[in-house]
Chain A
Amino acid sequence: AQTVTQSQPEMSVQEAETVTLSCTYDTSESNYYLFWYKQPPSRQMILVIRQEAYKQQNATENRFSVNFQKAAKSFSLKISDSQLGDTAMYFCAYSYDKVIFGPGTSLSVIP
C-alpha cells in the first residue's frame, strides 16, 4: 500500500530565511504525481506545487521549489525568502489511482 511520511511535525523559520520540509513516500508504481498543499489557519487547502514523476526536472513556483529524488522516494519542499503568510500546515500528497496525504508539517514563520 502507498504511504506518505512527513517526519517533521513542526518547524519554524525566521522571516526572509529559507526552510525545507521533508516528505518520503512508498510506492511500487513508476508513473505517479506528487503535490504539496498548504493549509493556513483559515483552513482553506491550496495547491502549492505539483511534480510529475516521469519528469526529472524539479518543479518551481516562484519562491517554492521541490527536490524530487525518485530513486530515494523523496519529495522535499523548499521555501525561499519566507514570509509571514507562509505560516500554515503543509501536506505532501501522492497520487496514482487515489490521492494519499501525509500527516502534515506545521510551519511557523517568525518575524
Chain B
Amino acid sequence: NAGVTQTPKFRILKIGQSMTLQCTQDMNHNYMYWYRQDPGMGLKLIYYSVGAGITDKGEVPNGYNVSRSTTEDFPLRLELAAPSQTSVYFCASSRQGTYNEQFFGPGTRLTVL
C-alpha cells in the first residue's frame, strides 16, 4: 500500500494563477480531508468528504474548491492564488468517521509570490 500520496511536493505560483493539488489514497477510505498548516501553527481544515460525490466546508474554505468523483481521489483546486495561501497542504484519509485515525500524505509546500 502506498497510503496517501500527494503531488506535487513543492510549487511556486504567481499571484492570480490557479492550480490543482492532487491527493490519492489506496486504503479504500471513505473519509478524506484537506488541511493547511501555516508556519508554527496547527492544521486548519479546508474541506472534507465523507464519500464519493459528497464534500463539505471546513474552517477555512475560502479560495479553494474540491471534488470527489471517486473513492480514491480528492483534488484541491486553488483559483486566483493569493500570498495568504502560502502554506503547507496536507491531505488525509480515514475509515468511516472522524473518530478513526487519520492517515496523512507527505504534504505539498506551496508558495505564492
Contact = CB atoms under 8 A, between A and B. Distances in A.
Q: Is this pair of chains taken from one and the same complex?
A: yes
Interface of A: 4, 9, 32-33, 35, 43-47, 50, 52, 91, 95-104
B61 interface: no
A97 B101 contact: no
A11 to B, nearest CB: 15
B90 interface: yes
Contacts of B98: 33, 95-99
Interface of B: 33, 35, 40-45, 48, 58, 88, 90, 92, 98-99, 101-102, 104, 106-107
Given A43-B88, A45-B90, A98-B58, A50 B41 contact: no
A52 B97 CA distance: 13
Contacts of A91: 42-43
A101 B102 contact: no
A98 B48 contact: yes
A98 B45 contact: yes
A101 B42 contact: yes
Contacts of A33: 98-99
